[in-house]
């Protein structure tokens, strides 16, 4: 469905289009029972981990950044991906040459 729209969307909201039925369905403590939000699954692509570089943030935080074989994902060419921290690298047992699955979520929200 997402590919058939005239503009980019990352999900949709389906609502009951009848005020009487909406009133009858009512609300929970935080949302209407007559509407449901649906987010589309994030786009994914497989690439190769070529290198890891380190960036130093404004307050001195060191962040490892994966350099990958460039891959097109959701209309964007990706070649750098945050690895968050050393624990993330260790927990995933990431090594140069590994095939990695990239996921681009929230690609439409400004």
Whose CA is closest to 8, among 75, 78, 73? 75
pLDDT band at 110 (very low <50, low <70, confident <90, very high): very low
Kindly list the structural domains of the chain, giving each domain's residue range(s) and its CATH number in brackets, ordered by start. 2-39 (3.30.1490.70), 43-104 (2.40.50.140)
Structure tokens that stand for 57 in this block: 């943030």
Structure tokens that stand for 47 in this block: 């690439």
CB 34 within 8 A of CB 15: yes
CB 102 within 8 A of CB 45: yes
Indicate the pTM of the whole model.
0.69
Give, as one character, the DSSP assignment of residue 95: -
CB 85 within 8 A of CB 66: no
pLDDT digits (tens, 9 = 90+) for 13-49: 999 999 999 999 999 999 999 999 998 888 899 999 9
């Amino acid at each position: 469905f997402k590919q058939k729209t005239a503009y980019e969307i990352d999900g949709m909201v389906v609502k009951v289009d009848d005020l009487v039925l909406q009133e009858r369905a009512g609300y929970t403590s935080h949302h209407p029972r007559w509407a449901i939000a649906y987010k589309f699954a994030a786009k994914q692509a497989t690439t190769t981990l070529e290198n890891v570089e380190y960036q130093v943030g404004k307050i001195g935080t060191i962040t490892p950044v994966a350099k990958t074989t460039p891959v097109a994902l959701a209309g964007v060419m990706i070649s750098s991906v945050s690895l968050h921290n050393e624990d993330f690298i260790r927990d995933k047992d990431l090594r140069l040459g590994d095939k990695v699955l990239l996921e681009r979520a929230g690609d439409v929200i400004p």
